[in-house]
Amino acid sequence: MYRKIKKRAFEIIQCADENDPESKRFDLFIVALIFINLVIAVVETFTVPYVLQQVITNIENISVIIFSVEYVLRVWTSDCLYEGLSPLQSRIRYIFSFMACIDLLAILPFYIPLLFPIDLRVLRALRIIRMFRLFKIGRYTDAFITIGKVFRSKASQLFSSVFVVGLLMIISAVLMYNVENTAQPDKFDNAFSGIWWSISTLTTVGYGDIYPVTVQGKLLSIIIAMLGIGLIAVPTGIITSGFIEVLNEEKQQIADVVDEKCYCPYCGHRIDE
């Protein structure tokens, strides 16, 4: 009986089976609650009347309770998740999985102030991470799978280009600090200001709060801005080639199915003649 309830709870909470109406309803309810929490996070940054503030606080409290219960249930039923592991090993592995960590981070800021009397302000923002659970729905749509596949297949190339960009960023930051520090000691006060400038330039954002004024600084900035074009072009090229690769693979799979019909696709002769 206990095992049966647990099995059912596992199916409803973890599986997200399309044909299981209770599981589907549960997922929709949780996502709706996350969405409401997101709207609240945006709304409470505005000055709202006292009554609405009360309603918001109540919804937040109820949400945290629901999310806490959900988290406990997920941990409890996680021994059905991994095959060939003991219940304890399964639970430890689940607790340290990426999605479980996010789930914990989403409810933790509510409990910490009960233990330590510290400021809630910055911690409250962490709650937004609940939103990432929305991706779980997307996990089952083809488009998300394709985009994910592209990033995974090109991970090493993307990481390499990010590495080169990171190196370029730090080198240009220290160079710019040395060049501009005497001319603008208040703006380029340390290497972090240089990094802030180099990111602003490499990504072509260019807020305009920090920029070189000396001729040498401007020459360096011109070189970095030109290389910033490469920063956009190289990952775009990598990602595009990934999309085309995935496209061709899908076509190949369709072609392979046709091939199984045992006819040469060009002559129309049977191969087993």
Interaction of residue 156 with a second copy, rule CB under 8 A: yes
Chain residues 65-104 in contact with a second copy, contact rule CB under 8 A: none
User: How many angstroms separate the CA atoms of 179 and 168, rounded?
Assistant: 16
CB of 124 to a second copy, least distance (A): 7
CB of 100 to a second copy, least distance (A): 19
Interface stretch with a second copy, choices 5-13, 60-68, 71-79, 118-126 (CB under 8 A) = 118-126
With CB under 8 A as the contact rule, the residue among 46, 96, 98, 116 that binds a second copy is 46
Interface stretch with a second copy, choices 2-10, 57-65, 93-101, 240-248 (CB under 8 A) = 240-248
Interface stretch with a second copy, choices 3-11, 24-32, 102-110, 169-177 (CB under 8 A) = 169-177
The full DSSP string for 195-255 is: HHHHHHHHTT---SSS---SHHHHHHHHHHHHHHHHHHHHHHHHHHHHHHHHHHHHHHHHH
Chain residues 126-145 in contact with a second copy, contact rule CB under 8 A: 128-129, 131-132, 134, 138, 141-144
With CB under 8 A as the contact rule, the residue among 15, 31, 80, 174 that binds a second copy is 174
Interaction of residue 207 with a second copy, rule CB under 8 A: yes
Sort 271 into a burial class: Cβ within 10 Å, 0-12 / 13-18 / 19+: exposed
CB of 18 to a second copy, least distance (A): 17
Interaction of residue 52 with a second copy, rule CB under 8 A: no
Interaction of residue 186 with a second copy, rule CB under 8 A: no
With CB under 8 A as the contact rule, the residue among 15, 82, 175, 184 that binds a second copy is 175
Interface stretch with a second copy, choices 21-29, 83-91, 102-110, 216-224 (CB under 8 A) = 216-224
Interaction of residue 196 with a second copy, rule CB under 8 A: yes
In the bound state with a second copy, the residue whose beta carbon lies nearer, of 5 and 229, is 229
With CB under 8 A as the contact rule, the residue among 14, 68, 146, 184 that binds a second copy is 146
Interaction of residue 257 with a second copy, rule CB under 8 A: no
User: How many angstroms separate the CA atoms of 175 and 231, rounded?
Assistant: 19
